[in-house]
Structure 1
Amino acid sequence: MSRRWFGYLAVATVFAIVCVLLANWQLSRKDEKAAEIALVESNYDRAPVPLGEVVPTREAFDDVHKWVPVTVTGTYLEEEQLLVRNRPRSGQPGFELLVPLQLGDGTVFIVDRGWLPTGNEHDLPDVIPSAPSGEVTVVARLKAGEPSLPGRSAAEGQIATVNLDDLQERLDVPLYTGAYGLLESETPRPTDEPPLPALKPVLDEGMHLSYAFQWFIFGILGFAFLAYAIREEYRHLNADDPDEQRRAAERERKRAAKRSDANVEDELLDGARSETVR
């Protein structure tokens, strides 16, 4: 083994380590998907509970309560509504419509009333439906706020992400910053046609397990290719060795036998085709 081959071995080892890391990353993604599916299955279709039962303070929110339906009663602050830009749905660009809901104690809970398609004007929907006026009881599914995206800008009346801390500063109200709600229903019902409701998450773990197996196989193939290259070089360097010559002759004899068998099969097939034509 020369220094060159030890270098090749080091490359194969590094390649295998990278493949293992990528495989483990795919397995962790699979576990994340499985945990998300478990939350949807356990929480999505539960009976609604009062907001205070699962979000006791404005800042509190436990991820185990994601998708839990809650009931909230208050008054929409429609003049403070905002559009969340860059929210495609089924391949069509659009917006999410956020409307603050002021509760009886003065606190505010953000309600995502649903999705609106981009209209004739590229940066706006054609119509923004009005929310119910007066006191309204909302059923909404809880979801944690989103992180800020540095460098993302938005037009007046729009935001790039649902960052609840930023919204609290923007609205200057005592806002629930632990979670917001995806609208399920409103009582009384709105007079305008409401935005499209949020879609139920797809219960699919994806191809992460398959991708993980592929990365493990790639790591093994790196060593297999190295072993093949070493064997071929060994044969080349020992071409004059009698034992190696005998082995080479035996390999050539077997290949010739296979070629002969293939030729016989081809002749038989050609004969059969000729008989069929006649």
Structure 2
Amino acid sequence: MYRFLLTPRWLSYLALTLVAAALMVFLGNWQLDRYRGRTAVNERIDAGAKMAPAPLRDAMPAPTGGPGTTGPAPAERVTWTRVTATGRYDTSNVILVRGRTVDSTVGFEVLTPLVLADGTAVLVDRGWIPPAPGGSATAQPQVPAAPTGEVTVA
């Protein structure tokens, strides 16, 4: 009575169904792995936002190379850790990062090096500013002056 299930047509349907089922299981596991990874990152971000800021040198070491070299990448355990740093802004090296959108307006992020007492520097994101009035999204805005003297940033 069910002998028709052994015909090439029905066997190809069975093979296609088994391949589709295996693919769906693989994709489901992939999505679950992505969810777990994203959850772990979000938990680190939330934990970092709740903790008190630590001094920068407690979170990561100073660069060991000469002038102009970068320090080591932070360890994963300290990624998203809030830190404090004390130094003076290097206003001669302000960096404007264009193409940053806030509330549907394209503007600039203002990055300024903060030179620490040991001579090393960290980039501080001083915030977002809109483009110059009446100009295009690439028109350089008037950047507010950085604080002078020694400052502590978190």
Alpha carbons 1:73, 1:103 under 8 Å: kept:
yes
Alpha carbons 1:94, 1:125 under 8 Å: kept:
no
* CA distance in structure 1 between the partners assigned to 2:136 and 2:22 by the alignment: 51
| Structure with the larger RCO, 1 or 2 (CA within 8 Å, 6+ apart) | 1
Q: Considering fraction of residues, name the structure with more strand.
A: 2
Counting aligned pairs with the same residue, the percent is 40
Residues 1:9 and 2:22 aligned together: no
Which residue of structure 2 lines up, in the alignment, with residue 83 of structure 1?
96
Aligned pairs (5 A) from 1:189-228 = none
Relative to structure 1, the CA distance from residue 115 to residue 20 in structure 2 (aligned partners, 3 Å threshold; closer, same or farther) is farther
Relative to structure 1, the CA distance from residue 100 to residue 27 in structure 2 (aligned partners, 3 Å threshold; closer, same or farther) is same
Q: Which has the larger radius of gyration?
A: 1
Q: Considering fraction of residues, name the structure with more helix.
A: 1
* CA distance in structure 2 between the partners assigned to 1:59 and 1:9 by the alignment: 54
Relative to structure 1, the CA distance from residue 25 to residue 91 in structure 2 (aligned partners, 3 Å threshold; closer, same or farther) is farther
CA-based RMSD of the aligned residues comes to 2.0
Q: Point out where structure 2 has 5 or more consecutive residues left out of the alignment.
A: 1-5, 63-70
Which residue of structure 1 lines up, in the alignment, with residue 56 of structure 2?
51
* CA distance in structure 1 between the partners assigned to 2:55 and 2:38 by the alignment: 28
Relative to structure 1, the CA distance from residue 15 to residue 92 in structure 2 (aligned partners, 3 Å threshold; closer, same or farther) is farther
SS at match of 1:130: coil
Residues 1:41 and 2:22 aligned together: no
TM-score of the superposition, structure 2-length normalised? 0.77
Cα deviation digits, residues 192-242 of structure 1 (max 9, x gap): xxxxxxxxxxxxxxxxxxxxxxxxxxxxxxxxxxxxxxxxxxxxxxxxxxx
Which residue of structure 1 lines up, in the alignment, with residue 128 of structure 2?
115
TM-score of the superposition, structure 1-length normalised? 0.45
Q: Point out where structure 1 has 5 or more consecutive residues left out of the alignment.
A: 140-278
* CA distance in structure 1 between the partners assigned to 2:42 and 2:77 by the alignment: 12
1:52 Cα shift?
Answer: 0.5
Relative to structure 1, the CA distance from residue 90 to residue 122 in structure 2 (aligned partners, 3 Å threshold; closer, same or farther) is closer
Aligned residues: 139
Cα deviation digits, residues 151-196 of structure 1 (max 9, x gap): xxxxxxxxxxxxxxxxxxxxxxxxxxxxxxxxxxxxxxxxxxxxxx
1:87 Cα shift?
Answer: 2.3
Alpha carbons 2:106, 2:137 under 8 Å: kept:
no
Relative to structure 1, the CA distance from residue 81 to residue 39 in structure 2 (aligned partners, 3 Å threshold; closer, same or farther) is same
Relative to structure 1, the CA distance from residue 122 to residue 41 in structure 2 (aligned partners, 3 Å threshold; closer, same or farther) is closer
Relative to structure 1, the CA distance from residue 8 to residue 90 in structure 2 (aligned partners, 3 Å threshold; closer, same or farther) is farther
